Amino acid sequence: MNEKKRLKKQASQDWHRADIVAAIHKAGWTLRKLATHHGYKQATTLSVALDRPWPKGERIIASAIGVDPAIIWPSRYCVRNKE
């Protein structure tokens, strides 16, 4: 049970979906415009990165916002300690 709680806490470090979309809008984009700008025929393609790991989509979204993908999704980019 403790392990499940720990995983849940880790996921809460990620930005909320609505916060990501709001940041995209503040930067002057929409997910649709961003997808078509990067050559995707399906306008909803980048929404996949909001729900599950997709490094290429995450980089596109993070670049539009002006931050590193690891800032938005720290649980997807956890740093492992080197020993």
Q: For residue 49, tell me if it sits in a domain.
A: yes
Q: For residue 66, tell me if it sits in a domain.
A: yes
Output the six-digit token pair for 34. 């961003």
Q: For residue 12, tell me if it sits in a domain.
A: no
pLDDT tens digits for range 12-31: 689 999 999 999 999 999 99
State the average pLDDT over residues 36-41.
95
Write out the H or E segment, with its range, that includes residue 17.
helix 17-26
Q: For residue 76, tell me if it sits in a domain.
A: yes
Measured CA to CA, the distance from residue 61 to residue 23 in angstroms comes to 10
Domain extent for 25: 20-83
State the average pLDDT over residues 41-67.
95
pLDDT tens digits for range 6-17: 555 544 689 999
Q: What is the DSSP string of 23-50?
A: HHHHTT--HHHHHHHTT-SSTTGGGHHH
Q: Which of 19, 16, 43 is nearest to 31 (CA)?
A: 43
Give me the chain's average pLDDT, please. 87
Q: Number of folded domains in the chain?
A: 1
State the average pLDDT over residues 62-71.
96
Q: What is the CATH number of the domain that holds 73?
A: 1.10.260.40
Q: What is the largest CA-CA distance in the chain?
A: 45
State the average pLDDT over residues 39-68.
95
